[in-house]
Amino acid sequence: MSRSTKSNWPPRWTAGLTARPAALSIEAVILAFLIAFLVVPVLLAIARGFLEGGRFSLYWFATTMTDRVVVRQMTNSVALATLTTAASLVIALPPALLRARCSFRGQGVLGMLLLVPMILPPFVGAISMRRLFSQFGAVNLLLEHVGIVDLAAHRPPDWLGGGLAGVVAMQALHLFPILYLNASAALANVDPAYAQAARNLGAGPWQTFRRVTLPLMRPGLFAGGTIVFIWSLTDVGTPLILGYQDLVPVTIFKELAKSDTSPGIYSLVFVMLSASVTLYVLGKFLFGRSAAADSAKASIASELRKLGPAGTLLAWLLFGAIIGLALLPHAGVVLTAFSARWVNTVVPSEWTMQHLWFVFERSQTVHSILNSLRYAGVSTAVDVAVGAAAAWLIVRTRVAGAGLLDGLTMLPLAVPGLILAAGYVAMTATGALKGIGPRGNPFLILVIAYSVRRLPFVVRGVSAGLQQIPVSLEEAARNLGASKARSMLGVTAPLIAANIVAAGALTFAFAVLEVSDSLILAQRPSYYPITKEIYTQATSGNPDAANIAAALGVLGMVLLGGTLAAASALLGRRLGAIFRA
């Protein structure tokens, strides 16, 4: 549930609601699911890092923490996540402030376009980064064309900076919409009376923002920043593609991909998990609480400043610059997918549809697409059923353990896919479950992984709808003779249908393009999902492999772009609640 509703929790219309045996039974099933497939795998991964010959030992953990290579990789990982979060904040804050405080023509369309960068996993966009920003890439060729750079006489600049700059840029351009959504929601919850009081006391616009507005926004910014930081800290695909591999997540991935289940690897998993959970807890219970209660409900309506023609033009230039920069990787992927020849030219000199047709002619790529649709379809059905039931229990009942249920359904936000995948590798390494592990048929374990990872999307999306619907509507139906089940299905369900559809669509689209779980848990080509096939093609070194990977990326862009547009249209600004810690 969104933080803005926490201060009034439970909602005022839940007064008098009590838990029934059916609610307790549903809660028990959901808790059993989360414990079995979220808590147990994580605990198994942790335990393997502290066992030596079947006995508890700190040897591997101490060895890991004192290894110079690991320390360097962890330092690099934290630095990468910090730079990505800071860059995302710098990109996201200006348009969020402008849209929240000003009114201008086209702001709704521009706000929706800012979400477009999320339609492509950053590791797919990284495929085109080298063509665009390498020393002899399209950007330097364009600069030479206009007379700024002489490629023949001087060594051209390497915009990727040895890999780090490229990874930061790719991650920030992909993740800044999360901070934008959280900043917009936080600004909507800031009482304009505080800023007016500051201005009445003589504070200028900058001082008012720095001393009043920004502190009140801090919970929302920290919530979005937490997700961005954890996402960047544990990202595997982008560093792999761009060649910046001196990172802990990349080391974990490489070892798990070789089915290495030694205690040393799981010590690294524990280190990453500790960092993620600690940051999540700080964001949720420490930094996320300050000033939230004071700013949850505005005492006066916010007055939007209507921009004139000049101001509207400047607003469009700001949004346009950010959108254009963020869409460069997407443009590069599209150009790569349709290029027949792209050598020493700013754009391809020859074009073709061959790569896109080849995707549908080659059995392996077709199987990867069908596999992803199957994995994502089943996992989405599980998420909608479990997530909707969990949201109903949390919002509509006073069932015992609702706080535990709420916490467990949100825990996947703090447990990255890399860590969860490591837990599933540990769970299926030996014994009866080995057949559904990475070296067997991973259909079931991938469906479970996708379901657990995206469950918070459905819980938050449905909770947002339930919190807008007073329980008195259901009570009126029951007073007219309808059963409790019929009143829920006939009254409440249609009213929150948009939330369910939007959350389900997002869950499906992000499951199709899931990266960490797919790269680790699918080791046999016949079970590759689309993201594993993209990675395999991009790193194969075969002729036209990058073009085929880009063509698969274009298909993913179309799918995720359509679902994001539909979800944004259905949820509006409430879409931001889905991406909060």
Do residues 119 and 554 touch, judged by C-beta distance below 8 A?
no
Whether 25 and 149 map to the same domain: the answer is no
Closest-CA residue to 457 (of 318, 575, 298, 369):
575
Provide the total of helices (H) and of strands (E) in the chain, helices listed first.
28, 6
> What tokens were used for 527?
């079970």
**167: Cβ contacts below 8 Å, ≥ 6 apart:** 80, 84, 126, 235, 238, 239, 242, 244
State the Cα angle at 418 between 414 and 424, rounded to 5°: 100
**CB-count exposure of residue 374 (10 Å: 0-12, 13-18, 19+):** middle
> What tokens were used for 337?
């997918």
Tokens 């790719």 sit on residue: 170
Whether 261 and 302 map to the same domain: the answer is yes
Query: Is there a domain that residue 63 lies in?
Result: no
**Total count of domains within the chain:** 2
What is the DSSP track for 514-571?
--HHHHHH--SGGG--HHHHHHHHHTT--TTHHHHHHHHHHHHHHHHHHHHHHHHHHH
End-of-domain residue from the set 348, 375, 404: 348
Whether 550 and 452 map to the same domain: the answer is yes
Whether 314 and 392 map to the same domain: the answer is no
Q: What is the pLDDT, as a whole number, of residue 259?
A: 65
Q: What is the pLDDT, as a whole number, of residue 296?
A: 45
Whether 313 and 360 map to the same domain: the answer is no
Q: What is the pLDDT, as a whole number, of residue 303?
A: 66
Q: What is the pLDDT, as a whole number, of residue 283?
A: 66
Whether 550 and 521 map to the same domain: the answer is yes
Q: What is the pLDDT, as a whole number, of residue 374?
A: 93
Whether 24 and 98 map to the same domain: the answer is no
Q: What is the pLDDT, as a whole number, of residue 150?
A: 65
Q: Is the peptide bond before 41 cis (omega within 30 degrees of 0)?
A: no
Do residues 419 and 234 touch, judged by C-beta distance below 8 A?
yes
Sites in the chain below the pLDDT cut of 50: 1-18, 290-301
Whether 421 and 565 map to the same domain: the answer is yes
Instruction: From residue 96, give the alpha-carbon distance in Å to each of 25, 197, 443.
Output: 43, 22, 41
> What tokens were used for 18?
């009590």
Whether 24 and 76 map to the same domain: the answer is no
Query: Is there a domain that residue 62 lies in?
Result: no
Helix (H, G, I), strand (E, B) or coil at 131: helix
User: What is the domain range of residue 540?
Assistant: 1-11+20-47+355-581
Whether 341 and 456 map to the same domain: the answer is no
Whether 24 and 158 map to the same domain: the answer is no
Q: Which segments of 308-435 does DSSP mark as H helices, in order? A: 309-326, 328-338, 354-361, 363-396, 402-410, 417-427
End-of-domain residue from the set 303, 320, 348: 348
Whether 342 and 368 map to the same domain: the answer is no
CA separation for the pair 388, 474 (Å, rounded): 17
Q: What is the pLDDT, as a whole number, of residue 36?
A: 93
Tokens 């016949």 sit on residue: 526
Query: Is there a domain that residue 428 lies in?
Result: yes
CATH code of residue 401:
1.10.3720.10
Cβ of 415: how many Cβ atoms within 10 Å? 24
Instruction: From residue 552, give the alpha-carbon distance in Å to each of 141, 239, 505, 546.
Output: 27, 19, 20, 10
- For the chain, the straight-line distance linking the first and the last C-alpha, in angstroms and rounded, comes to 9
Amino acid at site 223: A
Closest-CA residue to 388 (of 488, 280, 474):
488
Query: Is there a domain that residue 66 lies in?
Result: no
End-of-domain residue from the set 304, 330, 348: 348
CA–centroid distance for 228 within its chain: 8
Query: Is there a domain that residue 79 lies in?
Result: yes
Helix (H, G, I), strand (E, B) or coil at 260: coil
Q: What is the pLDDT, as a whole number, of residue 10?
A: 41
CA separation for the pair 479, 483 (Å, rounded): 9
